[in-house]
Chain A
Amino acid sequence: MRDTRLIMGMPVVFEVADAEATADDLEAVFAYLVSVDEQFSPYKDTSEVATMNRDGAHEPSKEMREVLAIAARTKEETRGFFDTTKPDGTFDPSGVVKGWAILNAANLLKERGRKNFFVDVGGDIQCAGVNAEGKPWTVGVRNPLGEGIVKVLAPGEHGVATSGTYVRGAHIYDPHTRAAPPRALLSLTVVAKDVLEADRYATAAFAMGADGLAFLQSVPGVEAYGISPAGTATMTSGFSAFVAP
């Protein structure tokens, strides 16, 4: 059972391969993701994020406190590369909300007794179990240079997330050595124990340019595949374990 909708301005795709899957499973996940969008969208005046930006004394909800804690942990673990405060001073937790919401959606399905599914929100994915043919779920890595895919992954129970913007290297520099800006990657795909881990590391490491791969190599349990503008890909030492045979 598979469906696609547009939520948070992104395509949401998910499929439940369990024989006993019902339309209610799909509705429950979509309803949850819509509620996350209502609460965390920086673009909606009625969201809690907008409220916090208007009112510094706002008492954060339970969900917001959870997101704030993840953001604080990510900032620390990535040596300041991840920050929910934008240069204009506004608060925007989007960088962790997406992975957090996908993981919660996956856990919601597990609570409903589902074992075989994937949830994909805008290209960030949590897999569980096997697909309708009883085989491991396969995830293609989108070609950032054009159409098609450039790698087929079998992430098993792991999460997959890809960061990719066309941020220029000039905005990234090493304040200690004042070395030349590192080359920017076109995209960085991360596989980790769950999609929240994959998403926050992909977001932070992408901003480090080509050096992000060396950083991720040093993080246990996190593997990555980065694509350069020159059409080459660089992967961490354990990444091949997640490449589909």
Chain B
Amino acid sequence: MKKFLLSIVVIAGSVGYALYSSSNASASPAAAPTAAPSQTTNISIENTPTTSAPPAQPAPSPTVTPSPAPAPAASQGQYKDGTYTGSVANAYYGNVQVEAVISGGKIADVKFLQYPNTHMTSVYINSQAMPMLTEEALQVQSANVNTISGASETSRAFRESLANALAKA
């Protein structure tokens, strides 16, 4: 699950770069399968990139204009094996700090050394309500909106700490 989370952060970051920053898709082969220039992009686990070598397939998406923009740090290829601690990044409700474990050149694990506290004491589970919930695949959109709801602070802190850890790998 930790690998999943990280991979998805990586792929979504790559997709985001391709869609919003006109970044060089060929410099970021991981982004290629989902970097179609459509308004909607399915996020799929099957497309999960790894950071392992070789970065074989060139981008099959000729519509993404190459530019000198650098690929996201996490897509740049192999890391050195080891355990790397990220910086402490401040989120509104507290600090976030991650530790990245690299094995075989890949991100094998990401642990949270610190995270905002949410004061948990017990759990309530309402099983009757479960069948009323519906699930859908996430679709990244580029629609214009008046404003955006999101927990940006913690996400930013997470990425900041992870980027710091990977910079050492």
Interface residues of A (CB under 8 A from B): 8-11, 13, 15, 78-87, 94-95, 118, 120, 122-125, 131, 137-153, 160-168, 171-176, 182-183, 186-187, 189, 203, 206-208, 211, 213-215, 217-218, 227, 229-237
Contact = CB atoms under 8 A, between A and B. Distances in A.
A15 B60 CA distance: 42
B165 interface: no
Given A229-B1, A229-B4, A230-B45, A148 B126 contact: no
Interface string B72-108: 0000000000000000001111001000000000000
Nearest to A205: B124
A148 B8 contact: no
Contact of B145 (A139, A143, A167): A139
A237 B134 contact: yes
Nearest to A236: B133
A218 B129 contact: yes
B47 to A, nearest CB: 10
B67 interface: no
B37 to A, nearest CB: 14
B118 interface: yes
Contact of B141 (A123, A149, A183): A149
Nearest to A131: B146
Given A147-B20, A148-B19, A85 B119 contact: yes
A234 B92 CA distance: 26
Contacts of B150: 123, 141-144, 162, 164, 187, 189
B56 interface: no
A142 B120 contact: no
B44 interface: yes
Interface of B: 1, 4-5, 8-9, 11-17, 19-20, 43-45, 90-93, 96, 112, 115-130, 132-155, 158
Contacts of B151: 123, 142, 144, 162-165, 187
A217 B134 contact: no
Contact of A165 (B12, B91, B128, B143): B91
B153 A10 contact: yes
Contacts of B19: 147-148
Contacts of A168: 112, 115
B141 A86 contact: no
Given A79-B124, A162-B151, A166-B115, 19 more contacts: A9-B90, A10-B92, A11-B152, A84-B119, A94-B93, A122-B92, A142-B152, A145-B138, A146-B13, A147-B12, A147-B17, A147-B19, A149-B142, A165-B93, A174-B125, A182-B123, A211-B126, A217-B129, A231-B44
B96 A166 contact: yes
A214 B130 contact: yes
Contacts of A189: 149-150
Contacts of A231: 8, 43-45, 137-138
A83 B117 CA distance: 11
B118 A141 contact: no
Contacts of B149: 120, 123-125, 139-142, 153, 160-162, 189
Contacts of B16: 143, 146-148
Nearest to A239: B134
Given A81-B120, A142-B150, A147 B126 contact: no
B133 A234 contact: yes
Given A81-B120, A215-B129, A152 B145 contact: yes
Contacts of B1: 183, 229
Contacts of B152: 11, 122-123, 142
